[in-house]
Structure 1
Amino acid sequence: MWMQLNKTILISRLSGVLGPNSQAVVKWKSPMVVRNYARGPVRTRTIVGQQPARPQTLKEKLMAPPSANAYSLGKGAAAGAAVVGMGALCYYGIGLGKENSIANNSMLWPQYVKDRIHSTYGFFGASCIVTAASAAAVFRTPRLLSLASRGGLLWTFASLALVIGSGAVARSIEYQPGFGPKHLAWVAHCAIMGAVIAPLCFIGGPILTRAAIYTGGIVGGLSTIAVCAPNDKFLYMGGPLAIGLGVVFASSLASMWLPPTTALGAGLASMSLYGGLLLFSGFLLYDTQRLVRKAEVYPQYTMAPFDPINASMSIYLDVLNIFIRIATIMSGSRNRK
């Protein structure tokens, strides 16, 4: 269309200059003059009123629509981490590690160490059941679902304070055998977590089922790596993981104001999803070996009693964050098809 308009303007300009005797004037011009004119510099013609193109500012680039490969970096990082994890699983699984692993040390464990680890994973399984039941109950209750689905900055910080506060209360109570105040606080915390993630059920049962299966496979593979690796291999990751947690948390908060329809928002969403998936996978390795270390050293090397509920809550939060991100990634992949 622009070429046709330019051609029309050019023809009208030539007609106005040449006038009615245009044919005679054209015949009068020599071929040499035409060749010389064609060899000369070509000047671009601009339409009257058209603004010249200018380079985009940084703000315009960040707020522009995201490209088709906005999530490619996150997907590549997740794929690379999966390859590294499979290599580590094969390496430690066939016993190529020279140091003692948790699997080797487990043959020398006294019975109380085994009981502590069994009780920890028992609380972990119960936490998953309570969370799933709470999410299903809230999803089936319209008033509670509307409350859990409410957006806005105030509700976001209120729910965040409720989750962090209930977890802190549950961790602060001293553990005692038998059902007591700590168990009540632990159940309340898991129920609150289920209510907060209840809107995730809008994704649909088939996707959530597949996400749960994939999460189980990832958790099983990472737990096997933690058990087969040297018993202190991942205990030095606490500092880097804490820094990564701050970055992912800041990205998740910033994505509230910057939707993924912009380039910057898509980058933040990719950091929150794929970066969080890698981060909590590393946390699972770290928390698994820390659980075993705490079960082994009390009471010989430490005065702090072993708390299976606190140990299970760390692993539970890692697994829950992995599940949420896998479900979100799968839901986004379905919507883009």
Structure 2
Amino acid sequence: MLLARLAHLVSGRSARLLCKAPLSCSQGLWKSAQQAPKCRFSAMPFQALKPRRGQLLQPKLRRNYTEEHGNRNRSHLEHRSKAPTLKERMMGPPTENAYSMGKGAAAGAALMGIVALCYYGLGLANQPSIYDHSYMWPQYVRDRIHATYAYFGASCAVTAASATAVFQSEPLLNLIMRSGWLATLVTMGLVMGTGALTQALDYEPGIGMKQLAWALHCGVMGAVIAPMCFMGGPVLVRALLYTSGIVGALSTVAACAPSDRFLHMGGPLAIGLGIIFASSLANMWLPPTTAIGAGLASMSLYGGLILFSGFLLYDTQRIVKAAESYPEHGYARYDPINHALAIYMDALNIFIRIAIILASGDQRKKK
């Protein structure tokens, strides 16, 4: 707008300078002002520049300028209004790289695990490891750790048997696969109720109420994951092999590290568990077909894989610490079932996430 005004003033002054004629002093300033416009308009055709009655040339130029910039502003606003808003981008379809950040985080965690395995496995730590302390363990400590991992293996076997039996029974499978709030609440109630009951009972050697509650809890967990059998045998076998490798490698890292190296991770792991649980619940309202839903699903999938791997390190060293701390003949007994359930839940969550990752990868290859 400022450039247009300068051009208008310069054009007017240049026309007056070009058409200015020598005037005598007797004519005065009034006559020179009257002659200057005549000279300016006489250089152009009279019909083209003759304004109508009540119409001036300068307002017309200003009006054209205003209309031109008004149309430009309107087109700019229309262009901005067509751009998607933040809500539309978040609720729109996800991009192809929606899970790239989660994959990168999982790859970084795997690299850190390999570095830790090499570091602690080669004995580069300054403090003695759990493996070094194991030579000085009394027999009852060894028996406690053996019993804990025996219950862990039995838990995995009972869960696999329960999942296979429920998958082959059509009424039970239809009951498990029912959707809705009521079915979800009942399932969560059974899982949490049987788990709380198992941990609340006192441990006694042999077969008792705690052992029965433990078997019931593992059977319920197998029934809950029974629909995963639709992924196919090859996917589940590969997921089982990968899970076994991860659990074995992390257990080796925990055994080769100093006895209290990973026991300080309880607070951050609890915070991460709350975040993963919240993102898993949010997927019930925000499906992965949206951009924000895909981000939450990636956090729950890959973030949960990293989180439960950290829990496995923490729980492994906590088992060893508890086996060493409880006296052989005391009022409080060492509970191998409760400690076995801790690493059992870690391994089960890792297995579920690896199976989902493998199944989704196979689907992308088929497309």
State TM-score, norm by structure 2.
0.77
* Residue 262 of structure 1 pairs with residue 298 of structure 2: no
CA separation of 1:301 and 1:70: change in aligned 2, threshold 3 A: farther
State the partner residue of 1:286.
314
Q: 2:115 aligns with which of 78, 87, 90?
A: 87
The alpha-carbon deviation at position 99 of structure 1 amounts to: 0.6
Alignment of structure 1 residues 138-149 onto 2, 5 Å: 138-149=166-177
1:130 and 2:158 correspond: yes
Match of 1:304 in 2: 332
Distance 1:301 1:61, change over 3 A: farther
Further displaced range: 142-151 or 188-197: 142-151
Tell me, in whole angstroms, the C-alpha distance in 1 between the residues paired with 2:233 and 2:138: 43
Q: Is the 8 A contact 2:140 2:328 kept in 1?
A: no
Say which is worse superposed, 151-160 or 221-230, in terms of deviation.
Answer: 151-160
1:35-46 correspondence runs (5 A): none
Partner of 1:21: none
- 1:101-120 equivalences in 2 (<5 Å): 101-120=129-148
Query: What is the letter of the counterpart of residue 234 of structure 1?
Result: F
1:73-84 → structure 2 map (5 Å cutoff): 73-84=101-112
Query: Among residues 349, 355, 360, which one is paired with 1:327 in the alignment?
Result: 355
Give how far 1:77 is off. Answer: 0.2
Shift of residue 56, structure 1, vs aligned partner: 2.0
Q: 2:261 aligns with which of 219, 233, 237?
A: 233
Which runs of 5 or more residues in structure 1 are unaligned? 1-40, 46-50
- Give, in angstroms, the shift of residue 53 of structure 1: 4.9
- 1:185-226, Cα deviation, whole Å (9 max, x unpaired): 000000000000000111000000000000000000000000
1:24-54 CA deviation, whole Å, 9 max, x = no partner? xxxxxxxxxxxxxxxxx9xx99xxxxx6452
Separation (CA, whole Å) in 2 of partners of 1:265 and 1:218: 28
In 1, Cα distance between equivalents of 2:233 and 2:176: 19
Measured after TM superposition, the shift of residue 257 of structure 1 is: 1.5
Aligned AA (1:275): G
How far apart are residue 301 of structure 1 and its match? 12
Report if the CA contact (8 A) 2:269-2:310 is conserved. Answer: yes
In structure 2, the gaps of 5 or more residues are 1-67, 73-77
| Deviation sequence 1:58-103 (CA, Å, 0-9, x none) | 2111101111100000000000000000000000001101111100
For residues 56 and 177 of structure 1, do their structure 2 counterparts lie closer, same or farther at Cα, with a shift above 3 Å needed?
same
Q: Give 1:274's match in structure 2, choosing from 291, 297, 302.
A: 302
Q: Normalised by the size of structure 1, how large is the TM-score? A: 0.84
For 1:170, which of 174, 192, 198 is the aligned residue?
Answer: 198
How far apart in 2 are the matches of 1:248 and 1:265? Answer: 13
Aligned counterpart, 2:46: none
Between Structure 1 and Structure 2, whose CA radius of gyration is higher? 2
Write out aligned runs for 1:207-222 (5 A): 207-222=235-250
Tell me which residue corresponds to 2:53: none
Secondary structure of the residue aligned to 1:236 is helix
Residue type of the alignment partner of 2:284: M
Deviates more, 1:251-260 or 1:151-160: 151-160
The code of the aligned residue for 1:283 comes to F
Residues 18-29 of structure 1 mapped to structure 2, 5 A cutoff: none
Selected match of 2:342 from 314, 329, 332: 314
- RMSD of aligned alpha carbons: 2.1
Distance 1:175 1:267 in 2: 43
* Residues 316/106 of structure 1: CA separation in 2 closer, same or farther (3 Å cut): same
Q: Structure 2 vs 1, CA of residues 158 and 95 (structure 1 numbering), >3 Å: closer, same or farther?
A: same
1:9 aligns with none
CA distance in 2, matches of 1:319, 1:302: 31
